[in-house]
Amino acid sequence: MAGQVSFDFTGKRVLVTGGTRGIGRGAVEAFLTAGARVAVNGRTDQSTNAALATLSIEAVAAPGDVATAGGCRAVVAAAVAELGGLDVLVNCAGIATGGPVDGVSEETWDAIVDINLKGSFFCLQAALPHLRASLGNVVNLASDAGLIGEVGLSVYCASKGGVVNMTRALALELAPDIRVNAVCPGYVDTDMVRRDVIDAAANPAAAEAALKASAPLNRIATPEEIASAILYLASDAARFMTGAALQIDGGTTAGHPRQA
């Protein structure tokens, strides 16, 4: 594929939460292609097994809901039982609901923060003994919405801002043995954007054009483009990187766009 970078993860054991579709699925496929053994986490047995059945290279199942600490421990335990250890944890499971502040319920706040922020923390905590043994590393899915604000997404922004600064704090705490980095994508062509934002809009074509225009590079990303950055951060090529929040957003967070 044009623009594809190759990495060698032969012998490495990788867990991708939220690996059944979208960016997580892109990361799963890229790690498998790079020679890794991969545990795929989806929220249920059914979604996880359905995803595994469609992969062209075999992966193993680590199903479970990462919205609770107990769920995170079960997911990591399942992955380690299948893989015999862990070299890389990718915290990709996430949701992006919300809406204007007036209508946000406590349930919505809890759901977003529990999956996006708490889940990333407790999956890392559960993985720590295994990552210490392998001198492994963690890649967290933050967002451009963790670096700048976005109207109607205040809770999502809070959760992703939390992921960015939690990444920095844990990078300091776990150095020099375990690296912890984050990727900050802009809009990516996944269910989260295609199904829930573009297709759900009154005028999908106008909604897609507006999303594209919000990035100076004038398009939305593919899951493969985010997966490349995840593999880079997880690889030895990034061995001097920790605590980074790497933007892959077509320039969205670079500053004010060119004025007409």
Phi, psi of 108 (to 5 degrees): -65, -45
Which residues are CB-contacts of 159 (< 8 A; sequence separation ≥ 6)?
Answer: 112, 113, 116, 117, 146
| Catalytic residue list contains 232 | no
**Position 250 contacts ligand NAD (CB under 6 A):** no
Phi, psi of 156 (to 5 degrees): -60, -45
76-80 long-range contacts, Cβ below 8 Å, gap at least 24?
A: 76/15, 76/123, 76/126, 76/127, 76/130, 77/126, 78/39, 79/13, 79/15, 79/39, 79/41, 80/130
**Position 141 contacts ligand NAD (CB under 6 A):** yes
The DSSP code for 236 is G
How many residues sit in the footprint of ligand NAD (CB under 6 A)?
A: 30
Shortest spacing between CB 206 and ligand NAD, in angstroms: 18
CB atoms within 10 A of CB 117: 22
Tell me, residue by residue from 6 to 45, as one string, x for binding to ligand NAD by CB under 6 A and - for no binding: -----------xx-xxxxx----------------xxx--
**Position 104 contacts ligand NAD (CB under 6 A):** no
Parallel/antiparallel/unpaired status of strands 37-40 and 245-248: unpaired
**Position 162 contacts ligand NAD (CB under 6 A):** no
For residues 131 and 230, which CB has a smaller minimum distance to ligand NAD in the complex?
230
**Position 130 contacts ligand NAD (CB under 6 A):** no
For residues 128 and 155, which CB has a smaller minimum distance to ligand NAD in the complex?
155
Per CB under 6 A, which region of 63-71, 99-107, 129-137, 233-241 contacts ligand NAD?
63-71
Copy the structure tokens of residue 194.
Answer: 């295609």
The DSSP code for 247 is E
Shortest spacing between CB 218 and ligand NAD, in angstroms: 16
**Position 79 contacts ligand NAD (CB under 6 A):** no
**Position 246 contacts ligand NAD (CB under 6 A):** no
Catalytic residue chosen out of the listed positions 31, 156, 187, 232: 156
C-alpha 148/C-alpha 125 separation (Å) is 27
**Position 93 contacts ligand NAD (CB under 6 A):** yes
Which residues are CB-contacts of 141 (< 8 A; sequence separation ≥ 6)?
Answer: 18, 23, 90, 91, 92, 94, 120, 163, 182, 183, 185
**Position 118 contacts ligand NAD (CB under 6 A):** no
Per CB under 6 A, which region of 82-90, 91-99, 173-181, 239-247 contacts ligand NAD?
91-99
Active-site residue list:
156
Residues at the interface with ligand NAD (CB under 6 A): 17-18, 20-24, 41-43, 47, 65-67, 92-96, 115-116, 141, 143, 185, 187-188, 190-193
